[in-house]
Structures are given as structure tokens and as C-alpha cells.
Amino acid sequence: MLDAVVVGAGPNGLTAAVELARRGFSVALFEARETVGGGARTEELTLPGFRHDPCSAAHPLAVNSPAFRAMPLERYGLEWLHSDLAMAHPFPDGTAAVLSRSVAETAASFGPRDAGAYRRLVAPFLPRWDTLVRDFMSLPLTSLPRDPVGLARFGLAGLPPSTWLTRRFHDERAKTLFAGLVAHVMAPLGGFATGAVGLVFALAAHARGWPVARGGSQAVSDALAGYLTDLGGAVHTDYEVKRLDDLPPARAYVFDTSPTALARIAGLGSFSEGHRYGPAAFKIDYALDGPVPWTAEEARRATTVQIGADSAEIGDALRAASRENRPPTRPFMITTQPGVVDPTRAPAGQHVFWAYAHVPNGWTGDLTDAMERQLERFAPGFRDRVLARAVAGPAELAARNANYVGGDIATGAASGLRLLLRPRLTLTPYTTPHPAVFLCSSATSPGPGVHGMSGHNAAKAVWRRLRQADRG
């Protein structure tokens, strides 16, 4: 009998398997698709030689992840590539605010009235960032906080809505960039703890940047799988699990799936009741004949570019998708252009480009024209660069990854208390009514993103249960 079987080979499933194998437990992992990866894959979606990331592309949380940093992933081919600027946020007038490793450079891009306010916001947290991020990404606390005072100070700043936090800024440049950071979790700007979301992304950039992985996000997943194999874990791909009987006997079963899928497979019909899915993504991958013709020079130097004219426009787009059940007229977009630092992603002189916006869960329309009109506002002539595009609405995203129910790439609404207590309001989010069945996907805390911490935290719950059973 195996100690643990993991279902789903996304970053969290792979991390959970690695953490258990590192502690001497026998582990086997089963993945329905032909390759590992989940939300961290790389595929030729448009034309031969153009390697796209179907979901995650830039990795501020991965490079800062306490779980990943404790693993020798660079030995297994993972290499982080950094652009001059971590992120740029262009404006219609051709200027841009930026987020960089330098606090001073970032603050200066906001203008003289807000530079000091920004420095005062982030300065208290940067010296203790590594401890803070470990404590924050272990919420609800799976162990005693290493810096309870620092975590409390962070909570005072971050738990109120981001709209409260940004009152310290006078001008739109800082407010808009910060609103874009919050929008990465697809939650309305006025929601509980949204200030913390913006702070985490900003601090992550100042600490270690917003890199891409050389060759694509698949490199993250392949490194985790390689490490797991060397630790003695078994990886089985192209193996769809429909019920627990499809799996070998084990002392614990760990699911990197949606709560809905776990309930169906494990026969826990009521487990997913009350779990709510959030807005969906509408994503377009482009093959371009050259770089994006951004008007703002800063946007040409950053691997990640946020698109939204001001904080009001971003707020309207988020409300449309999450509360008003309609597509945004002017979508807020997160875009990445890995070719700024990684020439391996496309043929010489050409580029891959990645863009997504928010739409209602399960929406069946086409946002392509609205997204491209928005891109043309900040990069005139963009359409002329397009060689091919691969469009994925909510249905296509769900078909590619079963965790993305209705196109929700966060595997659950990330608003209100659900931002911190996922998938239900409990301090034990990784356990289920079945004592041998656990959940480790991004439906659990700390939520969406390629960081592996949901898998890391779930693995803690598993090994504690197994050791408790061993002690009798």
C-alpha cells in the first residue's frame, strides 16, 4: 500500500507529492492529460515554433514561493529570466507607471506627489519579506507565525479594501497601477483583503521580480516532476480518474482538482455544496511578426504589461464580470511578452504574446474585438503584427483544464473571506469529511497562482495525519 496518491499534476499536486516524498513517504501521482503541468504548461497553440503558455506565464509568486525556494529546481532545468522592468502600466497619453526591483524607480514613476507615500507603504515590509510571505501564504495558519508582529502590521494595511489603501495616493498613476495588481485575483476592488493582494504583488516584484521561465511555464512543472522522480515518486500521465477505485490502495488521497471533481470522484456529494466559482478568463494567444508596438517606451522593456486607462475603468471591468454578469466594454487586461527576455519562444525576430480579460463565469460570447480595440489604444498598429491567434473563452479553458469550472482559472471565487478561507469558511481547508481524502488545489488557501503553497500546506495536513496514525 502506498502512503499517498496525488490526483492532478498541476503545480500544487506536484508540490504536495514532492513534499511527501521528501519526508520518506511513498507517493504516486496520476494526471489525466498526457503531460504534467495543469496551469503551468507550454504548447504550440498558433503556428509551428511559437511556444505559448496556455495559462500562467509570468511568475512573481513562484520565484518568491517558500515551497519552491526550498527545492533544488534549478538542477532540473528551471531558469528564471528577468526583464529590465517587472511590469509596466501604460496610459493613453503615452506615458507609463512601472513596477521594478527598485522601490525608488517605481515610486518615481508615480510622480512627485505620490512617490513618498508609496515608499512609506512598502518600506516597513521589505526587510522582513521572506518571513512575511511564508506566514501570509500559510493562512489559515498551518504553523505558528514566525513574525506575528509583522504579520499583524501587514494585516492592518492589507485587510481593508484596496480602495481604502489607495486613498493615500493623490494621482491616478499610482491608483491605477495598484488597481491592476488587485485585479490579478479577479476580485472587485472594494472587497475584503484586496489591499493585501496589491501589496503582495508589489513586494514580490521588489524582492525578486516578475520573471518568466526560460522556454515557458512548462519548465516549472517539468522541474517539479523531475525532482519528484528522483525522490522515488512515480508519475503516471494520460490516466483519468473517475472514482477512487481507479487508484491503487493508499493511506491518503490528495486531490489537485476542483472541489466539484473531488466530491464526484470520492463520493462526497455534499463536500462541494456552497463552493462558488468566480468570473472567467477570456484569453488570446498571439503569434506576432515583431514586438508589440507600445506607445510607452517602458512597456517595451517589461515582460508583463497591465492594460487599463485608470482605476475607474479597471473597477468597471471587474464589476461587469463579477457582479453584473456582463462582459466589460473596455476590458482590463493582463498581458505578457516573454520574447523581451526569452528568444527561444518564437522564430527569430518574431514573438508570442499572451493576453486575458475577465468575463462572467460560463460566458459564451467573443471578446476578441473589444480586447484588440483596447490594445490598439496603447499599441497602435498591434493588429498589423498578428500572424495568428488562438482564442479561448470560458468553455475552451474549462475543456483544457477541468479545474477551471466555467472558465474560472482561480478554481473558486476570490472575493470577501473566500480570498483567505478557501474553499469554505474553515481553518482546515485541506481536509474533507473522509479522513483519508485531502484537497490541495488553488481552490484552497492561499489561492490562485503558480506557487505550490496550497500543495505544500495540504502536504503538511497529510503527513501529520499519517504520523498520527503511525503512533497509534
Distance CA 443, CA 429 (A): 9
The gap between the terminal CA atoms of the chain, to the nearest Å, is 18
Q: Are residues 127 and 172 located together in one domain of the fold?
A: yes
Report residue 249's pLDDT band, with 50, 70 and 90 as the boundaries: very high
Tens digit of each residue's pLDDT (9 = 90 or more) over 389-443: 999 999 999 999 999 999 999 999 887 777 777 888 777 899 999 999 999 999 9
Is 233 a member of any domain?
A: no
Distance CA 10, CA 20 (A): 16
| Nearest by Cα to 90 from 305, 293, 288, 279 | 305
Expressed as residue numbers, the domain containing 62 is 42-96+210-216+279-409
Note the pLDDT of residue 3. 98
Is 298 a member of any domain?
A: yes
Which residues on adjacent β-strands are paired with residue 356? 283, 334
Integer angstrom CA distances of residue 60 from 12, 97, 202, 395, 416: 16, 18, 9, 27, 23
Total number of domains in the chain: 3
Evaluate whether 205 touches 100 at the Cβ level (below 8 Å): yes
Q: Which of 409, 434, 461 is the last residue of a domain?
A: 409
Q: Are residues 331 and 433 located together in one domain of the fold?
A: no
Amino acid found at 467: R
Is 226 a member of any domain?
A: no
Q: Are residues 124 and 188 located together in one domain of the fold?
A: yes
Report residue 151's pLDDT band, with 50, 70 and 90 as the boundaries: confident
Cis peptide bond upstream of 140, omega within 30: yes
Tens digit of each residue's pLDDT (9 = 90 or more) over 192-214: 889 999 999 999 999 999 999 99
Q: Which of 358, 378, 409 is the last residue of a domain?
A: 409
Q: Are residues 283 and 379 located together in one domain of the fold?
A: yes
Spell out a b/e string for 190-220, using b for 16 or more CB atoms within 10 Å of the CB, else e: bbbbbbbbbbbbbbbbbbbbbbbbbbbbbbb
Spell out a b/e string for 84-107, using b for 16 or more CB atoms within 10 Å of the CB, else e: bbbbbbbbeeeebbbbbbebeebb
Q: Are residues 123 and 185 located together in one domain of the fold?
A: yes
Q: Are residues 286 and 373 located together in one domain of the fold?
A: yes
Tens digit of each residue's pLDDT (9 = 90 or more) over 309-366: 999 999 999 999 998 999 999 999 999 999 999 999 999 999 999 999 999 999 999 9
Evaluate whether 161 touches 187 at the Cβ level (below 8 Å): no
Q: Which of 394, 409, 424 is the last residue of a domain?
A: 409
Tens digit of each residue's pLDDT (9 = 90 or more) over 15-52: 999 999 999 999 999 999 999 999 999 999 999 999 99
Evaluate whether 278 touches 360 at the Cβ level (below 8 Å): no
Q: Are residues 385 and 401 located together in one domain of the fold?
A: yes
Residue 139 pLDDT > 80: no
More confident residue, 419 or 254: 254
Note the pLDDT of residue 141. 65
Q: Taking the C-alpha atoms of 41, 43, 46 and 51 in order, what is their torsion angle to the nearest 10 degrees?
A: 90
| Nearest by Cα to 11 from 375, 309, 446 | 446
